[in-house]
């Protein structure tokens, strides 16, 4: 089931997949589709948070709440920091041109 949405955040339909394929096989497909309508009272005050949209990577679609989206953001940021540290510490060896 697809989330009804007004917009795609990354406008993935506009990507030239050939130009970004070197960035990773899923790069051009990563997106977030915001839900058409969320009850404002549920968004702000409900104990069980409502689905606010769909996070898309490749052919996988996951409906998420605001809290889950925040956790995805924090996890991705931490993952990037760990990878940067691993590179700087030489965990993966040295880069050669």
Q: 0.85 cut: is pTM over it?
A: no
Q: Which tokens hold the place of 61? A: 């679609």
Q: What is the mean pLDDT of residues 84-95?
A: 92
Sheet holding 60-65, edge to edge: 5-8, 31-35, 51-57, 60-65
* pLDDT value of residue 3: 47
The better pLDDT of the pair 11, 83 is held by 83
- Give the bridge partners for 56, in sequence order: 31, 61
Residue range 63-91: mean pLDDT, rounded: 96
Rounded distance between C-alpha atoms, residue 95 and residue 97, angstroms: 7
pLDDT category of residue 8 using cuts at 50, 70 and 90: confident
């Amino acid at each position: 089931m697809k989330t009804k949405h007004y917009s795609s955040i990354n406008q993935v339909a506009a990507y030239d997949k050939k130009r970004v394929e070197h960035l990773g096989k899923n790069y051009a497909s990563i997106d977030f589709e915001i839900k058409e309508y969320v009850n404002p009272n549920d968004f702000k005050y409900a104990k069980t948070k409502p689905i606010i949209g769909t996070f898309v990577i490749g052919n996988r679609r996951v409906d998420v709440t605001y809290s889950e989206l925040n956790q995805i953001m924090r996890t991705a940021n931490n993952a990037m920091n760990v990878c940067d540290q691993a590179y700087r510490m030489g965990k993966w060896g040295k880069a050669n041109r």
